[in-house]
Amino acid sequence: MQRLPDGDPSVGLLCTLRDDGSADPATDPRLPRETLLRMYREMRKMRVLETRMVGLQRQGRVGFYGTCTGQEATPIATALATEPRDWIFPALRESSIMLVRGFPLDQYLAQVFGNELDVLKGRNMPSHMAGRAVNQVSWSSCIGPQIPQAVGAAWAAKLRREPVVAVGFLGDGATSQPDFHNAMNFAAVFQVPCVMICQNNHWSISVPTARQTASQTLAVKAKAYGLPGVRVDGNDALAVYRVVKDAVERARAGGGPSFIESFTYRMGAHSTSDDPTRYRSEDEVKRWAEKDPIDRLRRYLEREGHLDAAGVERIDQELNEEISRAIDAVEKLAPPALDTLFDDVYAELPWHLSEQREEMRRGPRAPSGH
């Protein structure tokens, strides 16, 4: 893959796509046309969907949302580079993996609205997605705990001799957390089949990466723990696919864990509760918008003859219609029934909680007279 020269802020970055849409022939994975078009469609789907979610939050129709705008390449390339049996331990910006793996859009939206279709029964914050059917674990608002969880799942798979890989995501801010270091050390010592992917989007809410570490890169941290670390252009979907695919296959074959730094940029706010204009410039955002991962993949597809302007327009129209239909249907649903508060806590509900549930179902008693 192309390496940018030392002295560049993206030193040691592995790239495949060039700005004009051409690709390094030595590293282009030459994916089938169907896979490439699906990759593009899933990236566009997330951009359209999350734009709608932010709009709904601003209208007071949902409570919270955190987008992956500008970072779509890494989770979606990862979804296509892994197998359905592999476990995903996401951070805030990887919920698109669920949709790529077949999680129903209406159930995804139900988690945002917190209604009766929500498999989490409305208990989790919006954007804290989970889907057991697609092997994706719910993430936590706490920074970094999913990394030792991913390592633990990989350790369990190794003990059971299952050909399963666990993929754990984190942001640049999580590399300052003790959980990160504990997980890296354990993973390397016990050689677990785990791939840790750090989406370095330059900002941990309002804290720049330069305030997180004095290391030239985050990938170099892997060396101290004795595991391979690689730095990839996170806005290059083909490069991310290749790097993740190699790391996953290596882990599955017994080669141990890997650490990947995906060098990208958070083009949107940290979440709908954040105002990024307070800590970063508009010029910075505009510079990174020129490296938009969706536009870069589109130029490659056009150059390869896989997509044209009519195809782009058709995909957007189909996605807008699909998402609008799903929102209209899900928004009408009622919240979870109150007695579901007792579900999914105990394997067998204790007698006193069973009585309380039955009392709740009967409804409030009329006040007795005096």
What gap in Å lies between CA 230 and CA 55, rounded to an integer?
A: 37
Tokens of residue 334, six digits = 């009622």
Written as six digits, the tokens of 236 are 């290059």
Q: Cα-Cα-Cα-Cα dihedral of 235, 198, 55, 119, to 10°? A: 130
Report the alpha-carbon distance of residue 209 to residue 174 in Å, rounded: 11
**Residue 303 belongs to what H/E stretch?**
helix 293-303
* C-alpha–C-alpha distance, residues 236 and 361, integer Å: 54
Which helix (H) or strand (E) is 40 found in, with range? helix 33-58
- DSSP state for residue 216 in the 8-state scheme: S
240/246 Cα distance (integer angstroms)? 10
Residue type, 233: D
Residue 314: active-site member: no
Name residue 170's amino acid: L
Of 128, 202, 231, 270, catalytic? 270
- 234: nearest Cα among 98, 65, 94, 45: 94
Nearest to 91 by CA among 138, 21, 131: 138
Measure the CA–CA gap between 281 and 277, rounded to whole angstroms.
Answer: 7
The one catalytic residue among 44, 266, 296, 298? 266
Local structure of 72: helix, strand or coil: coil
SS3 label, residue 200: strand
* Residue 41 annotated to the active site: no
Q: What is the CA radius of gyration of the chain?
A: 22
Catalytic residue among 279, 314, 346, 361: 279
In the annotation, is 279 catalytic? Answer: yes
Element (H, E) at 223: helix 221-225
Closest CA to 345 of 362, 359, 361, 357: 357
Q: Could you list the active site residues?
A: 266, 270, 279
